[in-house]
Structure 1
Amino acid sequence: MSRDRALWVLPVSVVAALLLGLLPLPPSLAPLRPYWLALVVAYWVLEEPDRVGLGFAFFVGVIADLAFGSLLGEQALRLTIMAFILQRFRARLRFFPLSQQALAIGGLLLNDRIVTAAVHFTLGMPTLPAMFWLAPLLGMLLWPPVFLLFDALRLRTWRNR
């Protein structure tokens, strides 16, 4: 198989993240929803920096804003900030053990929540529930399985050539 065969993993992962973000949850659990799109973008920024960068993060964020019906540009801003930080520290993060990568991703997801709270505060939107701050912890716990799943899909297509 050629390198072109591995191209399907990226768009499928983004669509899956968008669908997981649209999945209905009970109102009591909705604030705990992990930011699936951030996990997907983080993986691809770390592993395929030539294909995925700030422009990709912005584009996917705008699509997410349209799909979720949120403030236009909010998720684009959040994902672009996260992608910028990941690009800046990519050389170090790639060689961290998976547990330390998960801690770094947890910090990035917490930063994402701070950006979201700042945007909501600036625009005079209602304050976010306290459980909203627990979602980065869940994302941090999901990072290892998400990373290993995408790595297996991406590398399997490379090995089969």
Structure 2
Amino acid sequence: MNKNPQQTTLLMHLSLLCALLLTLLPWPSQLTIWQPHWLALLIAYWSLYTDDSRVMYVAFAYGLLLDVLMGSLLGKHGMSLVALSFLVTKSAKQLRMTSFWQLLIMVLVWLFNDIVIRAAIDWISFRYQPELLDLLPLLTAAVIWPWLKYLMDRCQTSLRTS
């Protein structure tokens, strides 16, 4: 484990702030449907590799912040990210010992669950009809996850050695 847990907490908050910025960056209109849910990817990572259940509180706080920044229904992202964090934390110990491909598949299942929760909230609130195109960010997440995991693992390793 890390010598200084405060450094890990700082890294977690910096990475989540970067995820918020990546979410708010404008994408070309043709690529918007492919934009991954950056915050969900990082919440999944931190829930998987942090032995602390406080990640659920952090997920809720950043979810509310995302709701405010995007002008969405207050609590929509907070609720979906807490559910994501809970599911990841529940099976984290077993999944840390699985293969890369099994972990990738589980991350995609968790992100699918996140999409379903947000779509259900939108359906109840605004009668939004989900489409298959709503699942395209899963393909982008499948490409991004290995690189994101590698980058975050490298950052964690450098914190441990410093």
Range with greater deviation from structure 2 (117-126 or 2-11): 2-11
Question: Which of 74, 77, 95 does residue 76 from structure 2 map onto?
Answer: 74
Moved over 3 A (4+): 4-7
Q: Which amino acid aligns with 1:20?
A: L
Aligned length: 160
Question: Which of 46, 49, 69 does residue 47 from structure 1 map onto?
Answer: 49
Paired-residue identity, %: 28
Give the alignment's TM-score, normalised by structure 1: 0.90
Superposed displacement of residue 101, structure 1: 0.9
**Conserved in 2, the CA contact under 8 Å of 1:54 and 1:83?**
yes
**Conserved in 2, the CA contact under 8 Å of 1:17 and 1:40?**
yes
**Conserved in 2, the CA contact under 8 Å of 1:46 and 1:90?**
yes
For CA contacts below 8 A with separation 6 or more, give which structure has more relative contact order: 1
Superposed displacement of residue 51, structure 1: 6.3
**Conserved in 1, the CA contact under 8 Å of 2:53 and 2:89?**
no
Give the alignment's TM-score, normalised by structure 2: 0.90
In structure 2, the gaps of 5 or more residues are none
CA RMSD of aligned residues (A): 1.8
Partner Cα separation in structure 2 for residue 51 and residue 151 of structure 1? 19
Cα distance change of structure 1 residues 111 and 6 upon mapping to structure 2, 3 Å threshold: closer
Q: Which residue does 1:93 correspond to in 2? A: 95
Partner Cα separation in structure 2 for residue 58 and residue 51 of structure 1? 12
Deviations 1:99-141 (A, max 9, x none): 2111100111111111121111111343345322111121122
